[in-house]
Amino acid sequence: MTKADIVNEISKNTGIEKITVQKSVEAFMEVVKHSLTKEKNVYLRGFGSFIVKKRAQKTARNISKNTTIIIPEHFIPAFKPAKTFVNKVKSNIK
């Protein structure tokens, strides 16, 4: 499902114009991105959490040059679904 599909579905279910829904969806995504860049997690009860995970420093290999490189510790965005959401997906997919 793409962002356009989400906008169409919300518009169809609520009767709100697509342009308004698109602005709302994009504003939501901007708020989540901005919060995560400030290392603030976003919690949506019953849906899940957008969190920032810390990756530790590690050693990796560049196979083509046969060298070892060190990847410094860094942060990545992640999504952790709520238990009710996970259980609903598990029970509906067979």
C-alpha to C-alpha distance for 46 and 32, rounded to whole angstroms: 17
For residues 22 and 11, the answer to whether their CB atoms sit within 8 Å is: no
C-alpha to C-alpha distance for 38 and 61, rounded to whole angstroms: 31
pLDDT score for 94: 60
pLDDT in tens, the chain (94 residues): 999 999 999 999 999 999 999 999 999 999 999 999 999 999 999 999 999 999 999 999 988 999 999 999 999 999 999 999 999 999 987 6
Q: Which stretches within the chain are classed as H helix?
A: 3-14, 18-37, 83-92
pLDDT score for 52: 96
Q: How far is Cα of residue 70 from the mean position of the Cα atoms in its chain?
A: 27
pTM > 0.85: yes or no = no
pLDDT score for 33: 96
Domain ranges of the chain: 1-40, 43-94
- Tell me which CATH code domain 43-94 carries: 4.10.520.10
Mutual angle of helices 3-14 and 18-37, in 10-degree steps? 130
